[in-house]
């Protein structure tokens, strides 16, 4: 039976587009190295029709499918499960065409395997901007995966999550039918918005093959500020102050703790301190189409208003200087990975309560695990903080995680629950949080999600063991 299935799959995509045995290893381990699964095969369809035929074949043989793009998932959503081995990895990386760019309508139609870097480049070539910014993995992550996880990134404050950047989708459903929702309309009040069911579903309801994306005017100038602050509360107040003046021109507002800075400086070549003195926290702020001097003025006015927490700042309009500053922020995860796996949290709380979350979570973890190192960083502007815990000594860290990961998660997530936040802001649930979410999402929401899953995928063949 397996030979028959593989022969049929090979007939659909060709022998060069199907891998088996040891050739599949690269596609069965996630970016963090936390999850390694087993696959019957990895296939690389080159168009939507081939995806449809492969899905029909899997439905006939009751073989589960793991949709995969650049395999940059941080929660194990893009790799097969460890147990079993009876899953087909369907990798969309060969579907990488830019199908259309309409600069007048400010839209672009692309296949799911296009890398985010190429999508942004194509927009720039038409003097437009696609604002999704995941710079650390820009050349590796693919649009299909970005859509499936409703990726966030640095520009959410101004442009919204990936969900806000999509007008239409084409999706292969679990029975192999192709749903064509590739509309480029900004107004369509003709029933349920079906596309939003697939965005953020992590491939559990169908396989996104093509998308119509929103474009925006390119920014003419960017002013970037680096601000040293005493505590996150100062950051929250400064965010409100700047946003009241800049409005939607404020495109990024990121916080970085001192512990993050030290890890990046240790492991990432070409990085250096932002200031001569060391501070507890740093902010990276970007305002588009705002000149350097007005940003200086805004920061000085903030110091006059509540400046006891603002220690030092610098503002630049020079792209190379700004790039070096952002390098410190964008390499935190990879730098920390140099010391092994950490206990990662991708949480969101109301923006006004970010400082409270960090203070409460820090105090609880330090009391429970003296000496624990907290790396807190991320998107203060939209309330999404990456809150990672580990022991400073790599040799002690492995034991710490093995013995206490569940306890650490519970302590952090209880603070999040108390603030009516979310335990997954932008990374998704994947394998990592599929059980944990049951304790933090209300039962009716989970029941409705299960009902939707049952309607679309009654045999549970689409990315099983993820999300639900």
pLDDT in tens, 383-394: 999 999 999 887
Do 57 and 148 share a domain, yes or no? Answer: no
Q: What's the domain count of the chain? A: 4
Same domain, 141 and 60: no
Domain with residue 190: its CATH number is 3.30.465.10
pLDDT tens track for 56-99 = 999 999 999 999 999 998 899 999 998 766 899 999 999 999 99
Predicted confidence (pLDDT) per residue in 226-239, tens digit: 999 999 999 999 99
The pLDDT score that the predictor gives to residue 85 is 66
Q: Which of 418, 433, 461 is the last residue of a domain?
A: 418
Whole-structure pTM value: 0.92
The pLDDT score that the predictor gives to residue 82 is: 81
Residue 319 lies in a domain: yes
- 37 and 24 share a domain? yes
In a domain, 408, yes or no: yes
Question: Do 232 and 288 reside in the same domain of the chain?
Answer: yes
Range of the domain at 24: 2-91
pLDDT digits (tens, 9 = 90+) for 154-181: 889 999 999 999 999 999 999 999 999 9
Q: What is the pLDDT of residues 338-376, one digit of tens each?
A: 887 889 999 999 999 999 999 999 999 999 999 999 999
With respect to residue 281, please indicate whether it lies within any of the assigned structural domains. Answer: yes
**What is the mean predicted confidence (pLDDT) over 204-227?**
95
| Residues whose CB is less than 8 angstroms from the CB of residue 259 and which lie 6 or more positions away in sequence, other chains included | 373, 374, 375, 376
- Whether residues 300 and 375 share a domain: the answer is no
pLDDT in tens, 407-437: 999 999 999 999 999 999 999 999 999 999 9
CA distance 468 to 464: 8
CATH, residue 22: 3.30.43.10
Provide the pLDDT confidence category of residue 306 given band limits of 50, 70 and 90: confident
Confidence (pLDDT) at 101: 98
Q: Where is the domain boundary, 199, 217, 235?
A: 217
The average confidence (pLDDT) of the chain is 94
Considering the chain, what percentage of its residues have pLDDT values greater than 70? Answer: 99
pLDDT score of 136: 65
Q: Are residues 233 and 325 in the same domain?
A: yes
């Amino acid at each position: 039976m397996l030979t028959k299935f593989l022969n049929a799959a090979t007939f659909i995509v060709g022998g060069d587009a199907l891998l088996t045995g040891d050739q599949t290893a690269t596609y069965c381990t996630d970016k963090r190295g936390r999850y390694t699964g087993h696959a019957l095969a990895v296939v690389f369809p080159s168009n939507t029709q081939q995806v449809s035929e492969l899905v029909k074949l899997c439905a006939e043989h009751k073989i589960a499918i793991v949709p995969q793009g650049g395999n940059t998932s941080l929660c194990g959503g893009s790799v097969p499960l460890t147990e079993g081995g009876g899953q087909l990895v369907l990798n969309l990386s060969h579907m990488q065409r830019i199908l259309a760019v309409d600069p007048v309508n400010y839209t672009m139609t692309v296949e799911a395997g296009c890398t985010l870097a190429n999508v942004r480049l194509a927009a720039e070539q038409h003097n437009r901007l696609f604002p999704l910014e995941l710079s650390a993995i820009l050349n590796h992550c693919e649009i299909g995966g970005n859509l499936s996880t409703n990726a966030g990134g640095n520009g959410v404050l101004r442009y919204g999550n990936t969900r806000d950047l999509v007008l239409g989708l084409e999706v292969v459903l679990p029975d192999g039918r192709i749903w064509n929702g590739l509309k480029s309309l900004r107004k369509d009040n003709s029933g349920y918005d079906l596309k939003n069911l697939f965005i953020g579903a992590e491939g559990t309801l169908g396989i996104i093959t093509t998308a119509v994306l929103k474009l925006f005017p390119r920014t003419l100038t960017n002013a970037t500020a680096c601000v040293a602050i005493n505590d996150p509360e100062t950051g929250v107040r400064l965010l409100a102050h700047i946003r009241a003046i800049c409005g939607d021109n404020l495109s990024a507002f990121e916080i970085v703790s001192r512990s993050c800075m030290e890890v990046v400086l240790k492991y990432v070549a070409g990085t250096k301190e932002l200031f001569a003195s060391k501070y507890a926290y740093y902010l990276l702020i970007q305002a588009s189409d705002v000149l350097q001097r007005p940003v200086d003025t805004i920061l000085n006015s903030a110091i006059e208003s509540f400046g006891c927490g603002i220690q030092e700042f610098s503002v630049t309009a020079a792209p190379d200087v700004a790039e070096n500053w952002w390098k410190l922020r964008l390499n935190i995860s990879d730098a920390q990975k140099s010391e092994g796996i950490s206990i990662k949290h991708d949480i969101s709380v109301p923006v006004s309560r970010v400082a409270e979350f960090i203070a409460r979570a820090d105090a609880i973890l330090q009391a429970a695990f003296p000496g624990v190192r907290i790396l807190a960083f991320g998107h203060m502007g939209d309330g999404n903080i990456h809150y990672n815990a580990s022991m400073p000594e790599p040799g002690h860290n492995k034991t710490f995680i093995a013995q206490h990961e569940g306890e650490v998660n519970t302590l952090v997530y209880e603070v999040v629950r108390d603030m009516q936040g979310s335990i997954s802001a932008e990374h998704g649930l994947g394998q990592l949080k599929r059980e944990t979410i049951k304790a933090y999402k209300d039962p009716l929401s989970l029941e409705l999600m299960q009902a939707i899953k049952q309607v679309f995928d009654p045999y549970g063949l689409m990315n099983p063991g993820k999300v639900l």
